[in-house]
Each structure stands twice: as C-alpha cells, then as structure tokens.
Structure 1
C-alpha cells in the first residue's frame, strides 16, 4: 500500500517539509488533498486521524502519524538507506541532529512564525500588519542568527559537515519571509561572512536552493499519478 500524505498542494509549513523529505528520500506517495477552506480538516473522519484537525498527516499502510517534525523523523529513519541521507546512524551524530532540531523548534521557529503571521498571514485574511510585531520579531530572529553564525563558523551545517534533517526543517516557514518583504535570511551579514565561507547567508542559500526544494516550490506538492 502506497504511503498517503494528507496535505494541501502548497509547499509550505509542515506539509511542505514532509513533501521535501519524501522527495529527498525518493519515497512514492499519494497526495490526499485536504481542503482547509471548506473545513475538511475538521470533519469527524479527519479528526479521527489528527485530533487537533491540522495538516500534515501520513497513513503508512495503516500507521497514522501527524506533526511535521515527527513525520520527517519517521520517514528519515524508515528509509535511511534510500535517497539523501538525512539521519546519521551513530548515537552521538544523531544526538547532534536532535539537538539542532530542538534549537530550531525552541529558538528559530518562534520569531520566524511571528514575522510570517504578520507579513503573510494577515494580508491573506485582509488584515493590517502590525509593524511593531514585525520589528520585534526581526530583532529576536537576528539575535538567534547571531548564535547560528557562531555554530556555522565551526561546521558546514548545523549538526556537522553533512546536510541533515536539522537543516531541512528550517525551510518550514522561514523561506516565506522574503515573500512578505522581510529578506533577513538571505541578507544576514554575520561576522564570519568574510572569514568563513559557511556564514548564515551561504548556509541558507545552500539549503534553500536544493533542487528538490526548488522543484516543490515551483510545482507544488504532487503525489504519484
């Protein structure tokens, strides 16, 4: 039975990241389009899979799992010997990946989503942006990127010198900031920019221009025909 991904078609948020893992790992899947506009995610049938009524959700031959980061871990683990290596097998190496994923969730995600809600979310709903919230988010995100700059002054990627799930997960929402006029991720001029080639900006350019991600962004999420 082919894996089912319950999601929309736009490569963004948790759905986009799960679709990116599926692409990087070359995992065939069926896209089950979930129409948020009509409340399809709040039906009894959907709530039986995800009690909070959110996307993404996967059904892997009867095993149902929700929450994007958890799904990504599961897929990277189950298909470890297929496609792009995303999750190392060594205990210490995996611990470093988990550490970086936790950092993303606790430190990177909050200011990114704060800004994104103002510059993307509110205009989509016809609401006015609150510049003070945007400014506060930028200050917070810049401070977090200052720490990332230190980390990336020592290793090429966040958990070492190999691209992993920890890097990939950062694409969940941050890529949309530029769409809303806040291009901090591509223009951040960290202190290592002239001393070390993997400053935040070049790390960001590296992960955000991966062919699978560029294709997803251009074409949207598509399952097998």
Structure 2
C-alpha cells in the first residue's frame, strides 16, 4: 500500500515530512486537507489524528501523526533508501537525539512564534506585536548563540553529516530568511554557513518546486 501524507502544503510541520520523503526518495500520495473549511475537524480526519492537526501519515495499515515522529519512522524504516538521516553508532545517535530535542523544545517555539508574528499575521491582515517580536527575537538569539558554539565543533548540529536534526529546521528557517529575523542568523558565521548548506540541498529544491505546483493547483 502506498504512503499517504495528509496536510496543507504551507504548513512547516507538513513540509518537514515532505522534505524527509524527498531525502529518502520515496513515492507518496499527498492528500490536501482544507483547513479553512474545517476538514481537519471532521470525523474522517479525527480518525487519523484525534487532535485535528496536520500532518497525518499512513504507511499501509500504520497511521501516525506528529511530524517529528513521522520523520523518525521514515528514517528508520527506509534506512536503505536515499539519504541516511540517522546515525548507526549508539553514542552518536544519542548526541543526535539531544539536538533533536533542542530543535523541538528550544528553537522551534521561538522560531514559530516569530514566523507567526512577522509572516502569518500580515497575511491575515493583522498587526505584528512589536513587544512579542522583540521577546522572541531575544529568545531565538540565545538559542542561536548555542548553535554557533556547537557548529564550531561539528559541521552539522547532529554531527559531521546531515541528519534529521538539520532537516527539522529547514521549513521554518526558510520562512524566516525572507524577514528581518534573517539578521539574527547572518550575525553568526557558523550558523549562517550551516543554513546556506541545508537550504541548498537538492531535496529541498524539489520541495520548493512542489510548493509552486501545489499552490497553483489550490488557487
């Protein structure tokens, strides 16, 4: 049975899974979920994700939600396909797991809040809250200071090769690079070089092409 990914293509968590699938060179079916129409709150969708959020994922009779859990499943199950996104050594994998938690617990809360304030709100005709923006810029800056030190020790956050850790950052960073928050990344040389590296990956270029196609389809 084919892999199915349910979501909306503009969602960073959905794009996180799409990027993983592209890195692993896996075929899949994308099932668009119309959030504006409330499709994610309908019984058929809640059967896939009881929280009514995207993405949801199917691989045969397996049903998953939460993007990072999905990418870990893909990386472990299809380890022989495409890019190796996990590390075989247990100690290296443990270090990688630490930085995956850092992304989820430290980086993402600040970055997603900034994205909402500076990207999403204007699109919805809402005014950016400058006080909130300043608060989360400071918070993200502190996280990036830690990243700068880490990236002096290894080429990527999880180790010496590209892994799920780096992949998980890509969608939200891509959004922020088109905003004034880019200055936070540019001010840190190692972070800036790392971002240039991960955003230049062929798999991400394929995701961007898909974005263009899907956005044209959904107009």
TM-score, scaled to structure 1: 0.90
Whether the aligned pair in 1 keeps the contact of 2:141 and 2:184 (CA below 8 Å) is no
How has the CA–CA distance of structure 1 residues 68 and 206 changed in structure 2, closer, same or farther, with 3 Å as cutoff? same
Counterpart of 1:8 in structure 2 is: 8
Shift, 1:221, TM fit: 8.2
Query: Is 1:82 aligned with 2:73?
Result: no
For residues 63-116 of structure 1, give each alpha carbon's deviation from its aligned partner in whole angstroms, at most 9, with x where no partner exists: 100000000000000001110000112211211111110011111111101111
Matched pairs, number: 214
Which stretches in structure 1 are left out of the alignment for 5+ residues?
194-198
For residues 192-215 of structure 1, give each alpha carbon's deviation from its aligned partner in whole angstroms, at most 9, with x where no partner exists: x3xxxxx11101110111111122
Greater than 4 Å deviation, 4+ residue runs: none
Which stretches in structure 2 are left out of the alignment for 5+ residues?
215-219
Counterpart of 1:105 in structure 2 is: 104
Distance (Å, rounded) in 2 between the aligned partners of 1:63 and 1:84: 23
For residues 9-57 of structure 1, give each alpha carbon's deviation from its aligned partner in whole angstroms, at most 9, with x where no partner exists: 33x4110010000000011101111111111111011011101101111
What is the SS of the residue equivalent to 2:178? helix
Counterpart of 1:60 in structure 2 is: 59
Task: Describe how 1:27-176 pairs up with structure 2 within 5 A.
Answer: 27-176=26-175
Is the helix fraction higher in 1 or 2? Answer: 2
TM-score, scaled to structure 2: 0.92
Shift, 1:124, TM fit: 2.2
For residues 114-152 of structure 1, give each alpha carbon's deviation from its aligned partner in whole angstroms, at most 9, with x where no partner exists: 111101121122111011111111111111111111111
